[in-house]
Structure 1
Amino acid sequence: MTDADLAPTVQMPAVQAATATGTHGLETRAVSAWFGERKVLDRVSLTMPAGQVTALIGPSGCGKSTYLRLLNRMHEMVRGAGLAGEVLLDGDDVYAPGRLPASVRRRIGMVFQRPNPFPAMSIYDNVASGLKLAGIKVTHQERDELVETSLVRAGLWTEVRDRLKTPGGALSGGQQQRLCIARSLAVSPDVLLMDEPCSALDPTSTRRVEETIELLRGRLTIVIVTHNMQQAQRVSQRCAFFLASHDTPGRVVESGPTEQLFDSPRDERTSDYVNGRFG
């Protein structure tokens, strides 16, 4: 599946793309999810505060990525997928009748596990493609400004400003991931979802992506899935620990401030996981 398959198609005024504040909170209330008859998440209630980074941690197969994808209605793109409960953006249910999935995905962007720029497209056009895919019409000058602003916010501008017409596929893995972040930022989302964005990167590239997350904090609400406990501690202000077993779907065992979850967890299972005793 490509970004084009997932792209929003709604028309949005250029001024809105340029002026959105991005400080909007997310909340789920008793969310459950299924793939066919198989229940993969059970009654997950979680608050992701505006302008903060919330890390989702837990062993593989406990529903973290499914949870992330249901936040911007990507879950329903899977044949046989089901959902119960509420997903609220600023108190409004993103699954409300009449709410277009494309409009939700414009406000709640996604960065995937592996960098997926359009390899033959230039760096400039990769970023600008976010505007085109979202149906946002801007003047040439506005497009130039949004491309530069997005690359600055993604921490990539100083590295590529003299080669904007070169292919995005020629960048390093870490630069490609930040290019994908810039592409998401071009439409000024309120929330950015990140599904293990550093799992395919080397330590230096990982550090640069983490620096980008720090730059974005306060401007956006960020939700990140990570298996790296040190990364969760470094980048997030809040954390949620998911757990599942072979006969029970994924649930949130514990959530709260990251420091509390790692230093003084309330549940013994949380302590065991963050200290590497299982998972």
Structure 2
Amino acid sequence: MTTTIPDLPAPAPHPSDGLAGLEAREISAWFGEHKVLDRVSLNMRAGEVTALIGPSGCGKSTFLRILNRMHELVPGASLAGEVLLAGQDIYAPGRRLTDARHQIGMVFQKPNPFPAMSIYDNVTSGLKLTGTRMRRADRDDLVEECLTKAGLWNEVNDRLRQPGGALSGGQQQRLCIARSLAVRPRVLLMDEPCSALDPTSTRRIEETIAELVREVTIVIVTHNMQQAARVSDRCAFFLAAHRTPGVIVEHGPTKAMFESPRDSRTADYVHGRFG
């Protein structure tokens, strides 16, 4: 079926604040001796949503985790290639892991707020990890700002001191988005953020993505082709043949990928003929 496209001063801005693109160059990745990605290159443009699509097991989530240096935390994992944030390699010698995580946030498939921590403290938790100190009034403003951007403020503003774990699944996911935004990332990575949510919550997350992309570059992994068509500006189609590492078969503007793909395998996948 064809898919239709539808008590201290507030900290100074990060020196590299602003929209920034990501570029992966010749990324290969392994888990032990098993190669899972082979020379993947992709330009994820500033101020756009790039969707990573493809069947399970083709390396999409691995690629996403490479983009903010999570892959290297897996025992036995290794990689080759470069990831450039605004032209600077996040894997360059001397580049701190915390700096990459500060600028490139991540929202996971399963909502993971700190369950016993209040909604307010969930949003500000990243400030402690980055060593950011703020006056109470500035923290209050930041919490409201981030919850508003995540589309959650109107639903929780009268219960900010209640546990984040008491929220619904969709609300928890938006709380995680707000938590990521609090440290002012330039890029936000989202790994199937709606896969465990009901249609109403999914729609609200998609609305949030449309609003956030004005000020943060977004890269999203999704198995939902209708969602990819709705939320993304550009798509990259990953595929891994039997016992071979994942590669990008085709990438480009979403409309072209769905309506006039260059590769027949892309057409088959986006129109539901396999995967």
> TM-score scaled to structure 2, two decimals?
0.95
Which letter maps to 1:87? V
Q: What is the deviation of 1:245?
A: 1.7
Match of 1:149 in 2: 145
Q: CA-to-partner distance for each residue in 1:130-168, whole Å, 9 max, x for gaps?
A: 211222111111111111111111111111111111111
Unmatched 5+ residue regions in structure 2?
Answer: 1-9
| 2:146 counterpart of 1:167 | no
Which letter maps to 1:160? V
| 2:30 counterpart of 1:34 | yes
Identity in percent = 72
What RMSD over aligned residues (CA atoms) do the two structures have, in Å? 1.2
Note closer, same or farther for the CA distance 1:138–1:20 as it changes in structure 2 (3 Å cut). Answer: farther
- The more displaced of 155-164 and 259-268 is 155-164
| 2:75 counterpart of 1:79 | yes
Q: Which segments of structure 1 move beyond 6 Å, counting only runs of 4 or more?
A: none
| 2:233 counterpart of 1:237 | yes
CA distance in 1, matches of 2:220, 2:130: 23
Quick one: which of 41, 45, 67 aligns to 1:49? Answer: 45
Q: What is the deviation of 1:196?
A: 0.2
Which letter maps to 1:14? P
> TM-score scaled to structure 1, two decimals?
0.93
Match of 2:257 in 1: 261
| 2:4 counterpart of 1:15 | no
SS at match of 2:115: coil
Task: Say whether the 8 Å CA contact 1:20–1:189 is kept in structure 2.
Answer: no
Q: What is the deviation of 1:20?
A: 6.7
Task: Say whether the 8 Å CA contact 1:86–1:95 is kept in structure 2.
Answer: yes
Q: What are the within-5 Å matches in structure 2 for residues 129-278 of structure 1?
A: 129-278=125-274
CA distance in 2, matches of 1:174, 1:110: 16
Task: Say whether the 8 Å CA contact 1:22–1:51 is kept in structure 2.
Answer: no
Which letter maps to 2:200? T
Unmatched 5+ residue regions in structure 1?
Answer: 1-12
Match of 2:61 in 1: 65
CA distance in 1, matches of 2:273, 2:171: 34
The count of residues paired between Structure 1 and Structure 2 equals 266
Which letter maps to 2:19? T
CA distance in 1, matches of 2:130, 2:172: 20
Which letter maps to 1:268? S
| 2:103 counterpart of 1:107 | yes
SS at match of 1:187: coil
Q: What is the deviation of 1:21?
A: 4.4
CA distance in 2, matches of 1:122, 1:82: 37
Q: What is the deviation of 1:22?
A: 3.9
CA distance in 2, matches of 1:225, 1:106: 20
SS at match of 2:40: strand
Q: CA-to-partner distance for each residue in 1:156-187, whole Å, 9 max, x for gaps?
A: 11111111111111111000000000000000
SS at match of 2:58: coil
CA distance in 2, matches of 1:87, 1:125: 32
